[in-house]
Amino acid sequence: MRVYAHRGASKQAPENTLKAFNLAFEIGADGIEFDTYQHNDGIIVFHDRTLIRRANTQGYLLSESWDKLRTLDIGDGEQIPTLSETLNTIPRGKWCNIEIKHLVDVALWVNDVKTALAQSQVLEENVLVSSFNHHWLRDIAALWPEVKIGALSASYELDCTASARALCAYSVNIALDAVDKSFVERVLAEGFNVYVYTVDEPEDMRMLEKWGVTGIFTNVPDKALSVLHP
């Protein structure tokens, strides 16, 4: 079962920062998950629509210029990273999950991600693109059929592989609160991978591994690795 550091090693370092991503790979994580916004000045890595929680200042992320955003301290003196900077923390052969929180221009997004990838060591086959907005995923898949798509969901739908089938997805990425054994069995039986977020407790890690889950997103990759690979 692959261990992805959720927003980087976000228990030990500020989430979605280069420090958290570098630490994740020092710990030995298989990959990192991070959140992205398509800003006027390029793709940037951040979780919230607003700045208050991470930067202790009022305002919306997308209302501010990149020059202003770049001056903000989002913990331990870390700055908001670009997609390109983030991809450059990933060693060759390791994985990443680019979660999309905001997207306006799909063609520009695909072009920007491909350009950033080409300037990094990350292999295209190790990239998983996910979002709660499956319309964006459908449009991305149409322009970039080679990229792996993760149909992200917070609920166990009655037809739990409908989106994955429609998107020709690689995986269904499901909330820990919604997942059970039957969900995992059904999704795997239809040939899709299963990723679960956010898994920080050893008991849950062992249970998901037993069920055959493909990967977990965890804020504590150090703990996950010691539980799963003692």
Considering the complex, state which of residue 49 and residue 135 has its C-beta at the smaller distance from ligand G3P. Answer: 49
Strand-strand pairing, 215-218 and 193-197: parallel
144 binds, among Ca ion, ligand G3P, none (CB under 5 to 8 A by kind): none
Query: Does residue 135 have an active-site annotation?
Result: no
Which of 97, 65, 69, 74 shows the shortest CA–CA distance to 18?
Answer: 74
30 binds, among ligand G3P, Ca ion, none (CB under 5 to 8 A by kind): none
**DSSP classification of residue 119:** T
Write the Ramachandran bin of 14: left for phi over 0, alpha for psi from -120 to 50, otherwise beta: beta
**6, 39, 102, 134: the active-site residue:** 6
Contact characters 8-47, ligand G3P, x per CB under 6 A: -------------------------x-x-----------x
Considering the complex, state which of residue 99 and residue 204 has its C-beta at the smaller distance from Ca ion. Answer: 99
Task: Tell me the one-letter amino acid at 18.
Answer: L
Asked if 173 is part of the footprint of ligand G3P (rule: CB under 6 A), the reply reads yes
Angle between helices 18-27 and 221-228 (to 10 degrees): 20
Considering the complex, state which of residue 64 and residue 99 has its C-beta at the smaller distance from ligand G3P. Answer: 99
Number of residues that bind ligand G3P (CB under 6 A): 10
Dump strand ranges (E) for the chain: 2-6, 31-39, 42-45, 95-102, 127-131, 148-153, 171-175, 193-197, 215-218
Asked if 4 is part of the footprint of ligand G3P (rule: CB under 6 A), the reply reads no
Strand-strand pairing, 2-6 and 215-218: parallel
CA gap 62, 77 in Å, rounded? 21
Q: How far is the CB of 230 from ligand G3P (least distance, A)?
A: 26
Asked if 204 is part of the footprint of ligand G3P (rule: CB under 6 A), the reply reads no
Q: How far is the CB of 39 from ligand G3P (least distance, A)?
A: 17
Query: Does residue 47 have an active-site annotation?
Result: yes
Interface contacts to Ca ion, rule CB under 5 A:
35, 99
Catalytic residues, by residue number, are: 6, 47
